[in-house]
Amino acid sequence: MLSYDNLKDKPKEFLAVTSLTVPEFELLLPVFHRKYAALFVPGLTRKGKPRRRKAGGGVKAKLRTDADKLLFILSYQKTYPLQTLHGLHFGLSQPQTNYWIHRLLPLVRDCLAELSMTPERDAQAVAQSPLVQESAPDLLIDGTERRRQRPHDAAQQTAHYSGKKKAHTDKNLLLVNVHSRKVVYLSPTEGGKKHDKKIADEQALVYPAGATLGKDTGFQGYEPTGVLTFQPKKSPRVKP
């Protein structure tokens, strides 16, 4: 089974599972511990009633420590597996996995917000975002798609069908700071059919003065005012 103690000395595997390095994880852990303790008071049941049984009695918890709880929810966010599969990695049933996901996700969001690590969601506020201003305004924009269940409604099937992925998907735009490698902006979720440039045009992002913006062919013709855009080109293949 996966646990923090088993992974903390394996930096490559830890990064692959959580998308965080061990120092980044340990920066987040004290905030997570404090918020979890404030929300779920020791000595009380999950419904907030006094416990009749002493601490440690009954079935032993699979996610015993706060580090294991944080590892559990970060790995779920990173890989987004079926709940049954995710539960197998931590010795939990599917209902238990579902319970912990809904219990811990809001806590992680609150922790990241307190540490100013959440991306901007307001396109008009990007220029003033601390995530942009902490370094030179050199940015990259790209669309990201993730598979979803095939909608039952025919109109939704059309809206979410991605010709690129040959599947039904949800799409978001990401704006990333080149220097810090942090996600500066996350767009609202759109159907996979909608073109990247069209989403960017509709959101009308406001960039800081003198910003540079790297983009791919999905943003051909996207030229925000006052921004220097560039499109990396693939190196020509060397013929043998």
pLDDT at 45: 67
The pTM of this model reads 0.75
* Residue 23 in domain: yes
- Contact of 55 with 43, CB cutoff 8 Å: yes
Domain identity same for 94 and 175? no
What are the angstrom distances between the C-alpha of 5 and each of 66, 71, 90, 110, 197? 12, 10, 13, 25, 44
pLDDT at 214: 94
Q: What percent of the chain has pLDDT above 70? A: 93
Cα-Cα-Cα-Cα dihedral sign, residues 73, 79, 83, 86: negative
pLDDT at 17: 93
* Residue 82 in domain: yes
Q: Which domain holds residue 222?
A: 123-230
With tokens 């109109």, the residue in question is 155
Domain identity same for 105 and 178? no
* Residue 205 in domain: yes
Cα-Cα-Cα-Cα dihedral sign, residues 233, 134, 222, 217: positive
Predicted confidence (pLDDT) at residue 233 exceeds the cutoff of 80: no
* Residue 237 in domain: no
Domain identity same for 224 and 165? yes
